[in-house]
Structure 1
């Protein structure tokens, strides 16, 4: 189980890197009136796919977590414990919302008629998803719940 958590922690960096790259491609494409290339489309597609994979892994971890099971069995006590509440309610909810926004934005961008519309749609939806993800990640400096930058593999 711990190895899944380590993989989930590592995969977040791939999600963030791919999302930042896709936003960069969308921004430069939109501002320079570039053609929406196969590479731009791949950035759109793989960013959504990586985020969806991360979400599925997160849902698996959520259903197996002793912390989450404790939260739901002892709701009236656990709701007052900030870190437990963060993972049991806030983290999972915001990450699912961010992944849905990313997926919807990716699908909408794919179906737009013009290249400019594709870049604009991708840019707007992906930035919204990024903001939500930044709020929901348990950064080492977060007052809600904090975790290390990288989990140790052993």
Structure 2
């Protein structure tokens, strides 16, 4: 079960990354062109929210239910000194939760602000979210890196 959920989590990250980038470009373009907020923008924003929260739910399922890494760290706290265990036991999870929090807060602020400032707020939010997510991905050449495309 762990391998199947990890496979899903690994592949679904590309959906999240492509969505962040495309929605970020859409918001930046609309901000620069001074476009009016539309109901389609609400749909894009809510659609991305569902994608991002789904990835978070898959990740939390791995972390708290299926992954042996947090369990190993709890039974042997010295493992936290190892870059692999530190990354997957602490940094990856906290960074991704921070990314979701930044996105959620930026979305909430944008919706509460006047329509004229929504694209600006959401553009900045998407850029910061993207940077956090990119920093928390286990890129292949890193000490704790994994393959870009995980196979069974």
TM range (shorter): over 0.9
TM-score w.r.t. length of structure 2? 0.93
Q: How many residues align?
A: 150
Q: Deviations over 1:38-77 (max 9, x none)?
A: 222222222222111111110110012112210121002x
Q: Which residue of 1 aligns with 2:138?
A: 138
Contact 2:80 2:89 in 1 (8 A): no
Q: Distance in 2 between matches of 1:135 and 1:23?
A: 17
Partner residue in 2 for 1:151: 150
Contact 2:106 2:125 in 1 (8 A): yes
Alignment pair present for 1:58 and 2:66: no
Please give the TM-score of this superposition, normalised by the length of structure 1: 0.92
Alignment correspondent of 1:101 = 102
| Structure 1: runs of 5 or more not aligned | none
- Within 2, Cα distance between the matches of 1:148 and 1:38? 39
2:122 alignment partner in structure 1: 122
Q: CA RMSD in A?
A: 1.2
Deviations 1:97-145 (A, max 9, x none): 001111111222223222x3110110111111111111101011234x1
CA contact (8 A) 1:18 1:46 kept: no
What's 2:72 paired with?
70
**Separation of aligned partners in 2, 1:121 and 1:42:** 17
Distance, in Å, in 2 between the alignment partners of 1:16 and 1:43 is 15
CA distance in 1, matches of 2:80, 2:34: 50
Q: Is the 8 A contact 1:6 1:151 kept in 2?
A: yes
Q: Which has the higher contact order (CA 8 A, sep 6+)?
A: 2
Alignment gaps of 5+ in structure 2: none
